[in-house]
Amino acid sequence: MGIQSKYLGRVTLVGAGPGDPDLLTVKASRAIQQARFIMYDNLVSHEIRALFPEGAEKVFVGKSKGMHCATQDQINTLLLNAALEGKDVCRVKGGDSFVFGRGGEEMLMLAKQGVEVDVIPGITAASGCTSYADIPLTHRGLAQGCTFVTAHADKELDINWDALAQLKQTLVFYMGLSKTDMLMEKLTKGGLSENTPVAFIENGCTPKQRVLIGKLHQLTSLKQQHKIQSPALIVVGEVVSVAKQMDWLGQLSGRQLRKVEHERTLQMTA
């Protein structure tokens, strides 16, 4: 039985997208602008934080590799206590709450305690960042599907690497920056060619976006050479070649084919 009280607040899980405030949904933007109590994560961009109402109470509960402002248990407790105090909580997460964002865990915990939960989906990083990098997740003749994988786990990753390598789909790895050696080893052992195109997308959908392109066997050297920092997605698959074609066509015509407000660095590695 959950806690029953007419004074319970409600929690809204808001997916804030991959960084560009223009990618917020209308519903997410409205929820943020009307919020009086906001809990937000590390991956919520500074541009989106600037939209938080001046008078709102703001609590940062960000997590990054090796640096946890709050553990997930502590975040759960903060969410529940705020709701029990009658506060309506706007829980803002980067990307989409249900794609490696632990939104499902928070929703279930709160629901078990009788707290009403609303969910506002957001554009997940794999979709938003690849689009801004001119890399389609699917492309006729190159990839008929895509798979999102987290390279982070509390314990050992439970992944069938052989099956993953043989999907012939686009692979997008979240939180994989510190696991590049493992990704190269596991995927090539699973049967993926070491010459498969790969891309790092650093700070995707923000003014600091960089796109670094190479081959699977160059993953770690590419990271080290260009000092790639988190947050960064890793894209593996033939679709990465589309970005090269777009860059070549732009150079050929002497103009940028698609106007993007963000800086875009495209590095070519043979």
pTM: 0.88
pLDDT band (50, 70, 90) for residue 210: very high
Look at the domain 126-267 and name its fold.
3.30.950
Can you give the three-state secondary structure of 45-76, one letter per residue? CHHHHCCCCCCCEEEECCEECCEECCCHHHHH
Amino acid in position 117: V
User: What is the rounded average pLDDT of the residues 253-260?
Assistant: 51
pLDDT band (50, 70, 90) for residue 253: low
pLDDT band (50, 70, 90) for residue 246: confident
- Among 138-147, 188-197, 212-221, 259-268, which stretch is predicted with the lowest mean pLDDT? 259-268
> Are the folds of 10-123 and 126-267 the same?
no
Ordered by start, the domain boundaries in the chain are: 10-123, 126-267
CATH class of 10-123: alpha beta
Q: Minimal CA–CA distance to 148: which of 195, 190, 98, 182?
A: 98
pLDDT one-digit tens code per residue, 72-103 = 999 999 999 999 999 999 999 999 999 999 99
pLDDT one-digit tens code per residue, 218-234 = 999 999 999 999 999 99
- Can 259 be counted among the known catalytic residues? no
| 35-55 per-residue burial string, b: 16 or more CB within 10 A, e: under 16 | bebbbbbbbbbeebbebbeee
Between CA 14 and CA 122 the distance in angstroms is 7
State the catalytic residue, choosing from 27, 63, 208, 244: 63
Position 94 scores a pLDDT of 96
- Can 112 be counted among the known catalytic residues? no
Length of the chain: 270
pLDDT one-digit tens code per residue, 104-127 = 999 999 999 999 999 999 999 999
User: What average pLDDT does the chain have?
Assistant: 89
Report residue 137 as tokens.
């997740």
Position 184 scores a pLDDT of 97
State the catalytic residue, choosing from 6, 20, 27, 41: 41
CA 202 to chain centroid: 11
Between CA 254 and CA 233 the distance in angstroms is 29
Element (H, E) at 104: helix 103-112
